[in-house]
Structures are given as C-alpha cells and as structure tokens.
Amino acid sequence: MPQLQRDVSLRELNTFGLPATARFVVTIDSEAALVDALAMPELAGLPRLVLGGGSNVVLTRDFDGVVFRMAIRGRERLADDAHARYVRGGAGEVWHEFVDWTLTQDCPGLENLALIPGTLGAAPIQNIGAYGLELAERFAEVRALDTTTGLFVTLTREVCAFGYRDSLFKREPGRYIIVGVTLRLPQSWQPVTGYADVSRTLSEAGIERPDARQIFDAVVDIRRRKLPDPLELGNAGSFFKNPVVDAAAFAALRERFPQTVGYAQPDGTWKVAAGWLIDQCGWRGKSLGQAGVHERQALVLVNLGGARGADIVALARAVQASVQERFGVALEPEPLML
C-alpha cells in the first residue's frame, strides 16, 4: 500500500517553484500502487492531479485534493519489425534521460526532442515537439488506467488523436492515468535538420552529415544557450503555443508586418512564431513584480524569485493583451492553470 502524505508543499514538485500545498500526496511507483491508491477510502471523491516533473503546470492556489506523484520507472527495448524499432518506458522516466538512453540502444529518432523538461508519461498528453519533430511522429501506444472503468487499457496513436500540443488526454482530462509509453523509432533513420538553429549549429561545428548523437548534442547546446535551467530560474519552458492561422490571415499579417516569422504547415495553414510576436511587443526581459519574460527567449515566462501563481497568470494575460492589440493574434498558454 503506498504511503499517503498530508498537507504537502508542492513548491519542489513544479518547475516554476510556485508555492502551493496539497491536502494529500501519494507516490505511484507501480501499477499496483496506483490501483491501491485509487481504492484508499480517504481519497474517495477528491479531485486528482497527476504530476510527473511538474514542468507544465502553473499552481495558482492550494490543491484541496490528492496529487499522484508519478514515479513508475523502467526502460525496455522491444522487438523490432521491418519498419521500426520499439522502446518502452515507465511514465515516471525523465524524458531527457530516456531520449539519451534510446541512442545508447541504437534507436535514433527522438534526438530533436532532447532536453525537454518533464517525464515520459507526460509527453503524449502535450504531444511535445521541438525543432521539426512532434512526439506523435514517433508514437506507438500508451498503457493507461481508465478511471471510468478501473481497467488498464492500451491506446494507439489513432485513438490518442494527437494535434498541435493536443491529445485525447487534454480533451478528456482526468480520465486516463498513463503508466507506460511505447515509441516507434524508424529503421530507416533520416536526420531532421530543417530548423535554422539546428542547421546553423551543426554547420558551425563543421558537421555536414550529422548522426543522431550529433543532432542530440546540437539541440542540447541550443536549448542551454536559449532557455533558462528550471533549477536556476523557475519556468515551464515555452509558455505559449505558436498560433496557427490560415493562409489568408498569414498573408494579411505579412502585409502589415513584413518581418513576421512563420512556418508553412502541410495542411496549408501557417504557424506564427509566438516568441517573435511577444518580442515585437517589447516584452523580452521585462517583468511585472517577480514574474518576468526571459531576456533571451520571449516565449519563456520566469519566476524571478518569490513569484506566486497569480503573478505568472497576470503577466501572461498582459502579454496576451499586447499581442492581441498589436497583431490581432490570440496566444494560448501551454501550461495547465490550477
């Protein structure tokens, strides 16, 4: 039976370092522990929050419920087929460490997603992505507990209905608790180097035909140069999604603002660089109280020391209002606000 802790500070369990207390916290280190926790009479009817690395949440208040701290570990290389190599890990695996491990197993394909904070179990919820790759492109299935039936289920890529920073798990919040993830990595690996930062970093290193480890190292270098370490400056990584607009709207935006940064999508839409929009509104390096916009990357909001969740939310709303007023574009936050 897992141990139930009462009145627990969550400051160390969220990467923003925001103060909040949970009525209960229980650590889930196995499927059996999850089943036992759900059966605890003390927790009946209480709101539930599953936390992995706490890298995609803004805590604005105390949580009068139970936090399931996901700590199921384990990595496994599964059998290959003609098209792919399969790897599986527990939901509590640290994402970056898992990516590194796949390369040691001669299973390239995740290197563009290096150094993204969080856990393996949280990755499908957000459909994490960076530098030209989304998790959905490497996804096979998840094993999860369906809290409506109490049964463990296997959910395929099609069922998970991935979109840009979106998935079934965001559309039906709280229903599924992910305990393990299986990824499908290509047998015929090809480098993904289309993003300017990646190609420039490789070029500066004199690398013309990079292998997966070299791309991994380049992405780590880029992220460390551009983004703050949550252990040193509280943050949740990219705070806003890049807004997606249709071709006509993007053309109108470019007509008014010729330097607008955007990326054409396969379906004909355009993804506008949210960081550029925020930067153009003068927010980079600015702050409201103890909440600030990072000086090197305007897409990242930071806790300058002593900020509360309400401070982060107030800053986010001010940034949204500025971008909406100047560009007529709505920014949507990535983190869950609680």
Tell me the catalytic residues.
165, 238, 334
| Cα–Cα distance, 167 to 284 (Å, whole number) | 30
Q: Are 204 and 174 in contact (CB under 8 A)?
A: no
**Secondary structure of residue 84 in the 3-state scheme:** strand
Phi, psi of 312 (to 5 degrees): -65, -45
CA-CA-CA-CA torsion sign (214, 216, 221, 225): positive
Angle at alpha carbon of residue 242, lines to 241 and 246, rounded to 5°? 125
Query: Which residues, including other chains, have CB under 8 Å from residue 101's CB and lie 6 or more apart?
Result: 75
- Residue 171 tokens read as 């559309």
- Residue 328 tokens read as 């007529």
